[in-house]
Structure 1
Amino acid sequence: MDHTLQAVLAAMSSFFLVSLIVFTILVVCECNSKRHRIDSSISRDRTRNRGRTRSRTVPKTEFSSIAVGESATFDPTLNRISMRELIDATRNFSSDLIIGDGSFGLVYKAQLNSGVVAVKKLAADAFQGFREFRAEMETLGKIRHSNIVQILGYCATGRDRVLIYEYIEKGSLDQWLYDTSSSLEEDGDEVEIRSPLSWDTRIKIIRGVAEGLAYMHNLDTPIIHRDIKASNVLLDPNFEAHIADFGLARRIEGPYTHVSTQVAGTMGYMPPEYMHGATMATVMGDVYSFGVLMLEIVTGRRPSFPFAGESGKEVRLMEWVNKMVEQKRYMEMVDVSISKDGLKENTVMEIFQIGLRCAGETCKFRPTMKEVVEELDKISSRNLT
């Protein structure tokens, strides 16, 4: 037989054999699929029938607090709170009880048996909710400091992730800087009218944030917050600052850096190196954000909002401050709502200089937060003498 014909016949035989094998596999898979659908249908029918003859109960697994793999990285002493208790305490997460908007979730005021707390219900999106939950647990869940908000407990059920914090009565620094309207209770009764913060109170807040960051940055495994801004600083009745919202925070290994695949933070507070494509998040990024916040606190101007400069041209906070400092016009930059009685120009100058050093363009020239605390203490001690 011709060799070419033999080759053709052999190829055809192989083709038919392979086709037969593939067809057989497809038939078997289809049968298994049908059997699975039938079994699932029977299971659903049985479930529905049980529901008709019994009172509805909540499965124990519905309120299981957290998966084993998810729980390995945080403080095991944190309270585990059921979703049912949180639903009751927040009136099913009523919009009337919303007191804040954290990254990836809303914050509610709630009354638990232990007292008044703040409850943050993270976004239902599985990835975002889980990522923030893990970030807060791995950072905030392991630290205790008077200038850092304390996490009290958590709940995880299905796709829901909820974090419970201490309730900080006076709300955010952002509200005190820009919203002087009345603060209201749930029943509508006025509690207080937010009066402008004095110079001394603002310096106290600045020092509190500096203390909290210095503590975080000097842990054995440092923590970077990555989103320091006025709305993430809460004030207690004594106007002590408490750093909040650790959804973007990271514990960092190695030489004080964390490799990130995306820019994290808020426009106006983000360091220039992040904006220029740097993938290494560092403690010095927090220092920059703190410097911007410091200048915002003493000027009463938002870093991300442009405003009219002297020439009528729009400028932003950092550009404006740098120009004013070149002209040594420190007192003119102080928030107009602050009384200048007894305020020393030399002190004002020193505060602006610290803020500008922290918010310097080059990260290696920025001071550490520990150095900032020491400088603020020196200024305070001089003013007391």
Structure 2
Amino acid sequence: MLSFQNMNQNQRQLYDRVKNKSGTLFLSAKQIGDEEAKAIAEALKVNTTLTQLGLDRNQIGDVGAQAIAEALKVNKTLTLLYLNVNQIGDAGAQAIAEALQVNKTLTLLNLSANRLGDAGAQAIGEALKVNTTLAGLGLGENQIGDVGAQAIAEALKVNTTLTELYLWQNQIGDAGAQALAEALKVNKTLTMLYLNKNFLTSTAITTLRQTGNTICKLEGLDDQRVPSPSELAQIVARAVNAQLQPSVNLAAENQQLRSELAAKEQVLATKDQELATKDQELQQLRFDLAAKDQKFATTELELVAKEQQLANKVQELAAKDQELAAKDQELAAKDLELQSALDRIDVLERNQDASGSASNFDQPIPQVPLATLVAATNNFAADSLLGEGAFGRVYGASLPGPRVAIKKLSAESKQGTVEFKSELDSLSKFRHANIIAILSYAEEGDERCLVYEFMPNGSVRDRLSRKNNTPALTWSQRHRIAADVARGMHYVQTAFPDHALFHLDLKTDNVLLDAHFNAKVSDFGLVRAAQHLDDKSYFRTQNVQGTAAYMCPEFFDEGRMTIKTDVYAFGMILLELLTATKPGARLKTDTRKAVKNQKFMAMLDSALKPTETDQQSVGEFVTLALECLEEAADDRPSFGSILVSLDP
């Protein structure tokens, strides 16, 4: 047991921080190893207020996991524990499994991206049979095969609390899938099961889909993969062990027979001494013993034959290994060929002119009855509400097909009939990976609804504000978001050769993120078009609409629109991505002053910890942002040149 006196300074600091912490504590990516994990575990034994602990992306191994497991046996408050992206193997998983059998508070445990194999999965399966609190379990990106999957499947037959189970990117084949399918026939609580990037065949996928279970949603069944060479080696090793098992059993039988024979000889020796007068009976016993000797000799011959058979199997497996090695080389060559083709395609796509006839994209948006949307949202009930703004409210719903977002315009909305028709007309012509897709609409009387693709990670503004305690965006994610927005806006401006389009309400609230944090521009209700604009010409409007913090001076003061109007708003978005600060003139002024004094790094979002390589990228990023925010439109870059700066 680690005592406070034996801790080094770093361990004591971690101990004090965890011991006195309440609510939520994330220690992600802090290079925490086993020794630090021991100090954290000691603090958890006495802490009575901490409910969520993030130890993901560290260097915790089995020793650290075992210490944390001991703490879980006595801790009474922790509900969420993140241990993903560490170095925990089967020993650590077995210790945690023992803790789960007595812990009564933990509801979410994430062990994804570790080193768990079948032994660890079997231990966790046994724990799930008795645990009554765990609702979410992450075991993705480990080394779990069919044996581990079968153990978890047996647990699912009796477990009544688990609702989400992540088994993506393991080594599960058809046998494991068959066991999980049998479990789904009786389980009544699991609502989400991720099995993407395993080794399932089409037969196993069909079996899983035909269980009759209507509660559990199966994710990623069609996204399977071919085993890598190292994974194939593990599969072959399991097969060899399975083939050698008969030899072990036969050896045990052989030993048992020898033991029985020795016992009988001892009995015979005793009979010889005690029953000297019963020679005839003794002779008969000797005849019996000879028969048993003969049987034993036959058994030994059978063992020799079986061992020879096993040796032949080993030779066959060695030959298969050679075949697999040849296949690996062939697959590697194919991979290189495929990657080369993909690279060529990527180059072609990046250099393809985004402009073209609108008729190439123009398709009518289907109208659906308002009653359909009313039923899908339970009459726009509060529990379906995703968010609201000046336009009205957005609700989540499940129509036939994927989940959708329904924007219901209120009677008082700034987006009236004209804006409603404008957004319908614009989005019916746009088909781009970085433009929100509109799926259908409803219009009856004064009621107007737009149905979009569902974006599970919400708006960029919500993510920068860490709404609902969501994790901070990484630097690579922020960089990709900027490139996605620039790519989408370049498409908007060049999609139609005979006229230019202005979004006029480009902001972080209107940039949405899908499940993989790909960004898509939304809310085209204020979009305007002008004929034959070039870099020097402009279009004037008397009706200035949008969000003041993102408006360039010439549009805000004079109603003049150029192809650089939306570039100004994009520059404000770049500053938000860097600082997470709300937009406005003060943010621009503070940034220019900080850059001039070479103190901009102090303005960065505190959640960002850029590496030396990232710091160079940050510098280029802030320079681009200030160029986009130039007072004069002529001094701002175009979205085309912005893409060149942002794309790798």
TM-score normalised to structure 2 length: 0.42
Letter in 2 for 1:372: I
1:202 corresponds to 2:472: no
In the alignment, the residues of structure 1 paired with residue 516 and residue 603 of structure 2 have an alpha-carbon distance, to the nearest angstrom, of 26
User: What RMSD, in angstroms, separates the aligned Cα atoms of the two structures?
Assistant: 2.0
State the 1:261 CA deviation: 1.8
State the 1:103 CA deviation: 4.8
Q: Deviations over 1:166-200 (max 9, x none)?
A: 11111111111002424xxxxxxxxxxx1111111
More relative contact order, 1 or 2 (CA 8 Å, 6+ apart)? 1
State the 1:344 CA deviation: 4.0
In the alignment, the residues of structure 2 paired with residue 234 and residue 169 of structure 1 have an alpha-carbon distance, to the nearest angstrom, of 9
1:296 to 562, 565, 576: 576
Give the match's secondary structure for 1:120. Answer: strand
2:632 to 362, 372, 375: 362
State the 1:316 CA deviation: 1.8
Paired position in structure 2 for 1:252: 530
1:287/1:103 CA distance change after superposition, 3 Å: farther
State the 1:140 CA deviation: 1.5
In the alignment, the residues of structure 2 paired with residue 86 and residue 177 of structure 1 have an alpha-carbon distance, to the nearest angstrom, of 31
Paired position in structure 2 for 1:91: 378
C-alpha contact (below 8 Å) 2:391/2:413 kept by paired residues? no
C-alpha contact (below 8 Å) 1:139/1:246 kept by paired residues? yes
Give the match's secondary structure for 1:252. Answer: strand
Paired position in structure 2 for 1:29: none
Letter in 1 for 2:548: M
The equivalences for 1:27-46 within 5 A come to none
Paired position in structure 2 for 1:147: 434
State the 1:263 CA deviation: 1.9
C-alpha contact (below 8 Å) 1:171/1:236 kept by paired residues? yes
State the 1:210 CA deviation: 0.6
Paired position in structure 2 for 1:108: 395
1:248/1:102 CA distance change after superposition, 3 Å: farther
C-alpha contact (below 8 Å) 1:250/1:258 kept by paired residues? no
C-alpha contact (below 8 Å) 2:512/2:522 kept by paired residues? yes
Paired position in structure 1 for 2:421: 134
Q: Aligned residues: percent identity?
A: 35
Number of aligned positions between the proteins: 283
1:140/1:255 CA distance change after superposition, 3 Å: same
Q: Deviations over 1:275-333 (max 9, x none)?
A: 32x122233110000001101111111114xxxxxxxxxx8201100101111223223
1:254/1:102 CA distance change after superposition, 3 Å: farther
C-alpha contact (below 8 Å) 1:233/1:242 kept by paired residues? yes
1:218 to 466, 470, 494: 494
C-alpha contact (below 8 Å) 2:500/2:532 kept by paired residues? no
The equivalences for 1:45-194 within 5 A come to 75-124=362-411, 128-182=415-469, 194=470
Letter in 1 for 2:611: D
C-alpha contact (below 8 Å) 1:271/1:289 kept by paired residues? yes
Could you tell me which runs of 5 or more consecutive residues in structure 1 were left unpaired when the two chains were aligned: 1-73, 183-193, 305-314, 381-385
C-alpha contact (below 8 Å) 1:126/1:159 kept by paired residues? no
State the 1:267 CA deviation: 2.4
State the 1:334 CA deviation: 1.9
C-alpha contact (below 8 Å) 2:405/2:454 kept by paired residues? yes
State the 1:122 CA deviation: 1.5
Give the match's secondary structure for 2:379. Answer: coil
Letter in 1 for 2:578: V
Q: Deviations over 1:92-130 (max 9, x none)?
A: 122322213355221111111233111111232599421
Letter in 2 for 1:87: V
Give the match's secondary structure for 2:631. Answer: coil
Paired position in structure 1 for 2:586: 316
The equivalences for 1:213-292 within 5 A come to 213-220=489-496, 221-255=499-533, 257-276=538-557, 278-292=558-572
C-alpha contact (below 8 Å) 1:263/1:274 kept by paired residues? yes
Q: Deviations over 1:190-234 (max 9, x none)?
A: xxxx11111111101111111101111112233211111111110
The structure richer in strand per residue is 1
Q: Deviations over 1:213-268 (max 9, x none)?
A: 11111122332111111111101111110111111112332316443222222121
Letter in 2 for 1:204: R
Paired position in structure 2 for 1:325: 595
In the alignment, the residues of structure 2 paired with residue 122 and residue 112 of structure 1 have an alpha-carbon distance, to the nearest angstrom, of 19
In the alignment, the residues of structure 2 paired with residue 141 and residue 361 of structure 1 have an alpha-carbon distance, to the nearest angstrom, of 34
In the alignment, the residues of structure 2 paired with residue 90 and residue 131 of structure 1 have an alpha-carbon distance, to the nearest angstrom, of 26
TM-score normalised to structure 1 length: 0.69
Higher Cα radius of gyration: 2
Moved more, 331-340 or 351-360: 331-340
Letter in 2 for 1:197: L
In the alignment, the residues of structure 1 paired with residue 614 and residue 519 of structure 2 have an alpha-carbon distance, to the nearest angstrom, of 24
Paired position in structure 2 for 1:41: none
Give the match's secondary structure for 1:142. Answer: coil
In the alignment, the residues of structure 1 paired with residue 401 and residue 529 of structure 2 have an alpha-carbon distance, to the nearest angstrom, of 30
Letter in 2 for 1:358: C
Letter in 1 for 2:569: S
C-alpha contact (below 8 Å) 1:104/1:122 kept by paired residues? yes
1:352 corresponds to 2:622: yes
Letter in 2 for 1:299: T
1:181/1:127 CA distance change after superposition, 3 Å: closer
Letter in 1 for 2:501: I
Give the match's secondary structure for 1:287. Answer: helix
In the alignment, the residues of structure 2 paired with residue 351 and residue 216 of structure 1 have an alpha-carbon distance, to the nearest angstrom, of 23
C-alpha contact (below 8 Å) 2:539/2:561 kept by paired residues? yes
In the alignment, the residues of structure 1 paired with residue 592 and residue 395 of structure 2 have an alpha-carbon distance, to the nearest angstrom, of 39
